[in-house]
Amino acid sequence: MLIAMSDNEIDRLKVIQDVCERRLRRIDAAELLNLSVRQVQRLMNRLRQYGAAGLSHKSRGKPSNNKLPSDYRSYILDTITQYYPDFGPSLAHEKLSEIHNLRVSVETLRQWMIADGLWIPHSQRKPRVYQPRYRRDCLGELIQIDGSHHDWFEGRSDKCCLLVFIDDATGRLMNLRFSE
């Protein structure tokens, strides 16, 4: 029989086996595992009685107590597919709760939509490829102008806009001035 165990449970199994085979004392095992000596004794008894499966977590493989029924999940996903196929999880959640009176959290809905292929997370989407714009060849061929509205004089004068003129070919500042 194959037993699923975490790395911590495997380490715990090795230490408890060493104690059972008298290569390690219970006190030393308790220090290694950050447990009491009595808990090490309980683990030894469980190992002898049930084998390695006795040290694995008992809730492994069982569904969560908070898990929603699968028919409710399929009903919600069918509703989204029928009425809101191009909606994201947040907007779909909003419409489901307002119009259809179906209650489910946004995160649960997002995970369901990802699993069903109705939503692709931003991290998994293909990046958009944009045509690069190369710099111009000659000085003065293209001057880019930008303005920044700010209280540049910190209350000693009226708010103004800093205008900057930048040459595209060289990246050099051509002109810089304040304007009201």
For the chain, the structural domain boundaries read 7-55, 70-124, 143-179
Are 67 and 111 in contact by the 8 Å Cβ rule? The answer is no
Provide Rg for the chain, Cα atoms.
Answer: 33
What average pLDDT does the segment 58-85 reach? Answer: 92
How far apart, in whole angstroms, are the C-alpha atoms of residue 55 and residue 80?
43
- Average pLDDT on 53-57 reads 88
* 75-115: pLDDT as tens digits: 999 999 999 999 999 999 999 999 999 999 999 999 999 99
Q: What secondary structure does DSSP assign to 104-167, as a single string?
A: --HHHHHHHHHHHTS---GGGSPPPP----PPPSSTTS-EEEEEEEE-TTTTSS--EEEEEEEE
Residue 145 has pLDDT above 90, yes or no: yes
What is the CA angle 126-129-131, rounded to 5?
175
Percentage of the chain modeled with pLDDT above 70: 99
Task: Give, in order, the Cα–Cα distances in Å from 141 to each of 10, 167, 171.
Answer: 69, 8, 12
The tokens describing 83, both together, are 């009425």
pTM score: 0.55
Q: Locate tokens 């710099």: which residue?
A: 135
